[in-house]
């Protein structure tokens, strides 16, 4: 039985609308006009396709319908504005080469859109909101809910960002080779933050919000198809490897299960295989960056059948390399945890105490949780208890709190 | 489109960048065709702020706002978009000691004026 036409149009909307939208922004030079043109194009499709059949290249059809609708709209509004301005605008739109048939061109527009939404001249929070709204097509309400921000605040942020793109002329283009590494950084950061927001909610009761993570993986796949850069490949790998453990990292009761206690038989083997292959590809490029090393660490964990056969020596070595590239306290803390696994809790404790004494991590709950864990393993009950209490005071996440409370209760 | 690049420096950094270096940059900018105008300013101690309220002009000594970094000079550059503006603004020598604020210029909106004159 053939799929009904309405379902086909719906599927085309799902699969093509963001691509068509990105191209319309390029042609019309305006986010809001493109949004309107996209809706008009689909309205036209719903009217015409049942009569004329679905065109061979629906995306190209929609782009050209959207463009004509936009020109019509400008002509209609022209009665209220100076004719010269309008003629110029219409000419600029009509002057464009005919709507591209090639998928490639459309994909390039999506890439332009990602780089524009993640332009470093926009505030970091705004980059995330704008990317989810414009590139992924999430509604303002969905984004607001995911980030626990009031919807009006978020809507305003997006409006302001679009105004800045227009008024400051943030260009709609993929940066040139010399700018790419720096600009890619903000794009990757946005994607990884979206992923993490879905992987561990920054507060509230649920630890995973699958949709955001899926969206981030989709974005990384798109980027990696369009720009085969090792850091993009590595970020995709890193997210797939994290994702492979999603089921194992929370118990039936919604509690957090640490890596060494997870049931590794429920790790997703398919995602691990893909992730590991991507890591290897990125590392063999000889241009390993921070995401490559993080993904490599994640791959070492993924390849250990049991927690007690984890190659901690290799993990410490990868953290050493990572610290060279990015000497941050959080990475130093993760390295300390690996050192504790490799050489024993005493070595880890010395490192963490130095880090906390340096004053960078005294408000970071994981530093105190690690300290508590090392004391626990060394049998220092009093010190462990004090450190768990400090860690608890610093996190609002319910699953994390339950985990720390369980550890605290087991100390007696 | 023109962008105004405002150079801000903390008082103790005002002379960190030798004039010769600033001049060399301005010359390079001129040669590139992106130069519109540029000036260095006397320190804020020399500033006078003017306000007219209810027809009364009041003058006050000093800048309109006390900030940690003070406006020390400006470049008006011509660039095709923000990326090009940022490219040139980031090469302004005092960027290494202070901050450069890049602001797109705004065309005055004279449309209401036009309709009035057309009607006349």
Alpha helices for A96-179 (secondary structure H): 103-117, 124-130, 140-146, 151-167
More confident residue, B39 or A136: B39
Going from the C-alpha of A287 to that of each of A62, A219, A281, A290, the distances in angstroms are 40, 22, 11, 10
Residue A86 — pLDDT band, cuts 50, 70, 90?
low
Which of B82, B102, B114 lies closest to A171 in CB terms?
B82
Phi, psi dihedrals of residue B59, rounded to the nearest 5°: -115, 140
Q: What is the pLDDT of residue B117?
A: 52
Integer Cα distance of A202 and A225 in angstroms: 30
How far apart CA A387 and CA A127 sit, in angstroms, is 36
- B80 contacts in chain A (CB < 8 Å): 169, 171
Answer whether A121 touches B (CB < 8 Å).
Answer: yes
- The DSSP line for A301-332 is HHH-SSGGG--HHHHHHHHHHHHHH---HHHH
Using one digit for the tens of pLDDT, what is the confidence trace for B63-84? 888 889 999 999 999 999 999 9
Range with the lowest mean pLDDT among A58-62, A207-211, A288-292, B44-48? A207-211
Contact A82 B81 (CB under 8 A): no
Domains and CATH numbers, chain B: 2-106 (3.30.70.1060)
Pairwise CA distance, residues A305 & A125, whole Å: 39
Residue of A nearest to B79 (CA): A169
> At residue A2, does pLDDT exceed 70?
no
Q: Distances in Å between the alpha carbon of A244 and those of A208, A213, A265?
A: 13, 12, 11
Q: Which residue has the tokens 């702020």?
A: B49
Whole-number Å distance between alpha carbons of A411 and A373: 11
pLDDT band, very low/low/confident/very high, at A90 (cuts 50, 70, 90): low
Mutation to test the B interface, candidates A86, A116, A164, A167, most B Cβ within 10 Å: A167
> Which of A82, A121, A173 has the CB atom closest to B111's CB atom?
A82
More confident residue, A139 or B57: B57
What distance in Å separates the CA atoms of residue A190 and residue A239, rounded to the nearest whole number?
A: 13
C-alpha to C-alpha distance for A321 and A203, rounded to whole angstroms: 32
Average pLDDT in the A271-294 region? Answer: 94
Q: What is the DSSP string of A5-26?
A: HHHHHHHHHHHHHHHHHHHHHH
Interface test with B, best of A85, A163, A169, A186 (most B CBs within 10 A): A169
Tell me the per-residue pLDDT of A113-140, one tens digit each, with 9 for 90 and over. 999 999 999 999 899 999 989 988 888 9
Q: Which residue did the predictor score with more confidence, A312 or B111?
A: A312
Helix (H, G, I), strand (E, B) or coil at A397: coil
C-alpha–C-alpha distance, residues A222 and A247, integer Å: 25
Q: Do B104 and A175 touch (CB under 8 A)?
A: no
Residue A169 Cα, gap to closest chain B Cα (Å): 5
Distance CA A203, CA A199 (A): 12
Contacts (Cβ under 8 Å, ≥6 apart) of A118: A127, A131, A183, A186, A187, A189, A190
Tell whether the model's pLDDT for residue A99 goes beyond 50: no
Cβ atoms of residues A266 and A247 within 8 Å: yes
For residues A387 and A402, give the distance between their C-alpha atoms in angstroms, rounded to a whole number.
Answer: 15
d(CA B35, CA B17): 20
Q: Which of B81, B111, B114 sits opposite A169 (nearest CB)?
A: B81
Whether residue A27 contacts residue A93, with contact meaning beta carbons closer than 8 Å, is answered with yes
CA distances (Å), origin A15, targets A8, A11, A12, A60, A99 = 10, 6, 5, 13, 18
pLDDT at B115 over 80: no
Q: Do B82 and A82 touch (CB under 8 A)?
A: no
- The burial class, CB within 10 Å (0-12 / 13-18 / 19+), for A393 is exposed
User: A405 and A372 in contact (C-beta within 8 Å)?
Assistant: no
- What tokens appear for A27 in the block? 């042609």
Distance from CA of A172 to the nearest CA of B (A): 10
Please work out, in degrees rounded to the nearest 5, the angle formed at the alpha carbon of residue A185 by the alpha carbons of A184 and A191.
90
Q: Does the CB of A266 have a partner CB in chain B at under 8 Å?
A: no
**Partner-chain contact A168 B114, CB within 8 Å:** no
Q: Please check whether residue A220 is in contact with residue A291, taking contact to mean a CB–CB distance below 8 angstroms.
A: no
Please report the beta strands in B10-47, taking only residues with DSSP state E, as ranges in sequence order: 35-40
Answer yes or no: do A121 and B104 touch at CB < 8 A: no
- B81 contacts A171? CB cut-off 8 A: yes
Interchain pair B82, A167: CB under 8 A: no
Angle between helices A58-77 and A83-95 (to 10 degrees): 170
Q: What is the mean pLDDT of residues B23-41?
A: 96
Which of A403, A97, A85 has the alpha carbon at shortest distance from A250?
A: A403
Q: How far is CA A250 from the centre of its chain?
A: 21
Whole-angstrom Cα distance, residue B44 to residue B47? 5
Tell me the C-alpha distance between A115 and A186, whole Å.
9
Nearest to B82 among A81, A170, A179 (CB): A170
Q: Which helix (H) or strand (E) holds A334?
A: helix A329-343
Collapsing DSSP states into helix, strand and coil, what is residue A247? Answer: coil
Give the E-state strand segments of chain B in sequence order: 2-9, 35-40, 48-53, 56-61, 70-78, 99-104
Q: For residue A323, what pLDDT band results from cuts at 50, 70 and 90?
A: very high
The shortest C-alpha distance from A116 to chain B (Å) reads 11
- Cβ contacts from A onto B, under 8 A: 26
Per-residue pLDDT reduced to its tens digit, A102-116: 455 556 888 899 999
B104 and A82 in contact by Cβ < 8 A? no
Segment A4-57, tens digit of pLDDT: 788 888 889 988 898 899 999 999 989 999 999 999 999 999 999 999 999 999
Residue range A349-387, pLDDT digits in tens: 999 999 999 888 888 999 999 999 999 999 999 999 999
Q: Which of A168, A172, A176, A177 is the best substitution to test chain B (most B C-beta atoms within 10 A)?
A: A168
Cα maximum dimension of chain B: 57
The mean pLDDT value of chain A amounts to 88
Q: Do A170 and B1 touch (CB under 8 A)?
A: no
């Amino acid at each position: 039985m053939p799929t009904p036409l309405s379902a086909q149009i719906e599927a085309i909307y799902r699969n093509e609308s963001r691509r068509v939208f990105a191209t319309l922004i390029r042609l019309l030079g305006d986010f809001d006009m493109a949004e309107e043109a996209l809706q008009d194009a689909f309205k036209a499709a719903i009217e015409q396709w049942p009569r004329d059949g679905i065109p061979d290249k629906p995306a190209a059809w929609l782009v050209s319908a959207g463009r004509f609708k936009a020109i019509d709209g400008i002509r209609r509004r022209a009665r209220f504005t100076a004719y010269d301005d309008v003629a110029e605008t219409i000419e600029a739109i009509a002057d464009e080469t005919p709507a591209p048939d090639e998928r490639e061109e459309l994909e390039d527009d999506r890439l332009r859109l990602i780089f524009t939404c993640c332009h470093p001249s926009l505030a970091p929070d705004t980059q995330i909101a704008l990317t989810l709204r414009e590139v992924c097509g999430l509604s303002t309400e969905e984004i607001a809910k995911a980030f626990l921000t009031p919807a009006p605040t978020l809507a305003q942020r997006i409006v302001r960002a679009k105004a800045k793109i227009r008024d400051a002329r943030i260009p709609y283009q993929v940066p040139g080779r010399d700018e790419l590494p720096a600009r890619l950084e903000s794009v990757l950061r946005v994607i990884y933050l979206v992923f993490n927001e879905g992987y561990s909610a920054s507060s509230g009761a649920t630890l995973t919000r699958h949709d955001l993570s899926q969206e981030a993986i989709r974005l990384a796949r798109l980027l990696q198809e369009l720009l085969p850069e090792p850091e993009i490949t590595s970020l995709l790998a890193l997210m797939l490897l994290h994702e492979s453990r999603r089921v194992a990292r929370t118990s039936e009761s919604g509690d957090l299960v640490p890596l060494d206690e997870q049931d590794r038989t429920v790790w997703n083997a398919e995602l691990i295989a893909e992730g590991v292959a991507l890591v290897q590809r990125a590392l063999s490029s000889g241009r390993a960056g921070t995401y490559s090393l993080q993904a490599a660490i994640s791959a070492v964990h993924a390849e250990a059948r049991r927690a007690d056969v984890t190659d901690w020596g290799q993990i410490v070595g990868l953290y050493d390399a990572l610290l060279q590239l990015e000497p941050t306290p959080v990475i130093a803390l993760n390295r300390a945890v690996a050192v504790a696994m490799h050489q024993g809790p005493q070595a880890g404790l010395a490192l963490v105490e130095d880090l906390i004494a340096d004053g960078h991590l005294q408000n970071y709950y994981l530093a105190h949780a690690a300290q508590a864990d090392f004391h626990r393993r060394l049998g220092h009950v009093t010190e462990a208890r004090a450190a768990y209490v400090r860690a608890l005071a610093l996190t609002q996440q319910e699953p994390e709190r339950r985990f720390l409370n369980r550890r605290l209760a087991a100390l007696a | 489109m023109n962008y105004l690049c405002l150079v801000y420096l903390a008082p103790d950094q005002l002379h960190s960048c030798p004039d010769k270096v600033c001049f060399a940059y301005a010359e390079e900018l001129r040669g590139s065709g992106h130069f519109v105008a540029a000036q260095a300013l006397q320190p804020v101690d020399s500033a006078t702020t003017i306000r007219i309220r209810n027809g009364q002009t009041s003058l006050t000594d000093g800048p309109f706002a006390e900030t940690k970094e003070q406006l020390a000079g400006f470049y008006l550059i011509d660039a095709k978009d923000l990326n090009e503006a940022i490219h040139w603004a980031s090469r302004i020598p005092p960027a290494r000691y202070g901050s450069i604020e890049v602001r797109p210029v705004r065309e005055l909106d004279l449309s209401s004026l036009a309709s009035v004159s057309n009607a006349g």
